[in-house]
Chains A and B, each alone.
Chain A
Amino acid sequence: MGKVVKYKLNGVEREALEGRLVIEAAKDVGVEIPHYCYHPALGNPGNCRMCVVEVAGAPKPQASCRTGVREGMVVSSDSEAAKRAQTSALELHLVNHPLDCPVCDQSGECGLQDYYMKIGRYQSSVREDKEHKDKRIVAGPHVMLDQERCILCTRCTRFVDNVTKTHELGIFGMGHSERIDVTPGMSLDNAYSGNVVDVCPVGALTDRDFRYKVRVWYLDKTDSICPGCSRGCSISVHANTSRPWHNDGKRVARLKPRFNPAVNGHWMCDDGRYGFSNLDADRLGKVLRLTPQKTELTWDAMAAELADVLWSAGEGLAVVASGMLSNEDWAAYKSLFLDALSVKRHYFAPEPDQVGAEDELLRKRDKVPNLKGAEALGLKSGSFGELAEELEAGKIKTLYVIERDLTRIFGERAQALQSKAGITILQGPNKYALGDSFAYRLPATAYVEEEGCFTNFEGKIGAYKKALAPIGDSKPDWEIFGLLQKALSGAKQRAAAA
């Protein structure tokens, strides 16, 4: 490799490295050649014949995913001969395809539909009945398989063979009755099974979680970062807001991986992909004082009241946070709790509730996206064992909990330990198990309702954008910290006067 050669693509003189696949060289200069089986991360078996192009001097059209660029080569992907070859390839793919687009979840983002509209538009010359295969096969906990829709591009089998190396899918039968099926005795149940839905160019593999929820053309797509672990995969949030009666009233319909060669490549894990069910569940929307009775306050009144509470707590203030906070949140956190209030007790370690399975592909042990951001600011976390001891000893007068469920940290002891603290404050998007036994409740936005940055375990910073409007009065965490810090000067004056 290394030698740059000149070749002609669609009549334009181009340069590429010698031996680079024509389909990739064309993509580099913005010419898309239709393809199904070729995938940049899964290789190029050359079985779909969709990417055929005309090469001057060659007796037949050549598969551009199997042909390397040579000096002086003349390639055309849009000539009459190339188009005719592509149309024939598409017609062969559709011989047994059931054309059930109206009921297919893939429709709207389907390779067959796209290329039919782009290069097909033929009257099928096939008069025989279509071959019927099995439909609605539950391939695994997340994936539904429809053999009739399959065009046998083998992307999914290559994914389970080469990426996860779990081999749950394979090709069975021969000729007309050839089909993709789940390996006997297995189930498509690996940590990355959802990716086969993404690589499938047709509707053969579809998401069970997304099945019949929303048509894809209703979805708004926003670039985001997966908060599921410290890898921080680049994702796209697909939200359904224009037609709220779909998707059982939930706003986020699905999460899809977004290509990012530096972090996650093309993939994301199932834990992240399907782990958004709590986004709309039990959301805090109101600024509330819960004791002695439930009272709704304005943000300013709440900030003034809490500033008094925090200032008077002094040494007895402990803050429980989590790595769900963005870099911006951590900066405001440090400014408020470390610089202004000089708090000694910070607890945001992922143990015991925010750790989980780790593997070599993507998943990391810490199931929160941004512990590195806190580390970078010099924040240090104590262990929750220490916090439990100090709560038992009655050393903690005020407990400020940010985006964390105490029952998942302390288990059955949570309620008892919480009641040991004099004043308890919950800040976060969700109510969690003990949400009603706090003295104050501040609604914060979920990550899809704000923008910010996460620093992943390698120190790479990724930005996420705002996909949805905040619920109720909720504000981003950094804004809440800012409001409190602003109110602190008043609290100091009142404390001095008293």
Chain B
Amino acid sequence: MAITVRAVARPARTFATQIYLVEVWRGLAVTFRHLFVNLFRHAMKALGIRGFLPGSVTIQYPEDPAVLGKRARTRHRLLKRDDGAPRCTACLLCETICPAKCIRITAENAPDVAVEKRAKTFDIDLGMCVFCGYCVEACPVDAIHMDADDVELSSYSRQDMIWNMPELLGDKTKVPSGPA
């Protein structure tokens, strides 16, 4: 496609745009509309009249739990096969695709010949993870999901941000250390 030039007219600087008052009023109108609509809904809910949604979208976090979207990518979780063994075959595709290089896997022989290979260690450094979800996409055996619905990942040390295999499988609860 050839490059063409099209002249676009600038919006005219009229007296009305230069004094800004019109835009200020329009903004305030939005604010007041929310105020009165919420006030009305809160009042209706307080009076026990059904059919009204909660008045405000504000969540009282952290007292109330965070509401996450259904497809939100949260902390990783390793899945297990029906017999309880981890699904991971240590193919290292997630480690390879990871743009943050936060996954570290070492492999070993699996006792089951049909499985052949399994992970000996599987560490994810959530302090480095960018939550892109490529590891989930790359996994050929559906062994890793990002649906633990856990976003409260903070700790007092960088070391505590590394989750190991039992913790990711849910076999062991992650116990963070206190302040140093």
Contacts and interface: CB of A to CB of B under 8 A. Distances in A.
Please indicate whether A and B come from the same complex rather than being unrelated chains. Answer: yes
B92 A136 contact: no
A212 B96 contact: no
A246 B116 contact: no
A372 interface: no
Given A102-B140, A215-B96, A245 B91 contact: no
Interface size class on chain A is: 10 to 19
Interface residues of B, number: 19
A195 to B, nearest CB: 24
B113 interface: yes
A100 interface: yes
Given A135-B116, A136-B116, A245-B104, A212 B109 contact: yes
Given A100-B116, A102-B89, A102-B93, A212 B108 contact: yes
Nearest to B104: A245
Given A212-B107, A212-B108, A215-B96, A103 B113 contact: no
Nearest to A248: B106
A103 B108 contact: no
A103 B116 contact: yes
B117 interface: yes
Interface in A201-225: 211-212, 215, 217-218
A136 B115 CA distance: 11
B90 interface: yes
Main secondary structure of the interface of A (DSSP, over half): loop
Contact of B90 (A100, A103, A135): A103
Contacts of B113: 135-136
Interface in B95-120: 95-96, 104, 106-109, 113-117
Contacts of A135: 113-114, 116
Contacts of A102: 89, 91, 93, 140-141
A385 to B, nearest CB: 48
Nearest to A245: B104
B91 to A, nearest CB: 3
A212 B90 contact: yes
Nearest to B123: A245
Contacts of A243: 95, 104
Nearest to B88: A102
Nearest to B116: A103
A465 to B, nearest CB: 26
Contacts of A217: 96
Contacts of B91: 101-103
Contacts of B106: 245-246
A212 B90 CA distance: 9
Interface of B: 89-93, 95-96, 104, 106-109, 113-117, 140-141
Which 8 residue pairs are nearest across A and B when measured between Cβ atoms? A102-B91, A103-B117, A212-B107, A103-B116, A102-B140, A215-B92, A103-B89, A245-B104
Given A100-B116, A243-B95, A246-B106, 9 more contacts: A102-B89, A102-B91, A102-B140, A135-B113, A136-B113, A211-B109, A212-B109, A215-B92, A217-B96
6 contacts: A100-B116, A101-B91, A102-B140, A103-B90, A135-B113, A212-B108
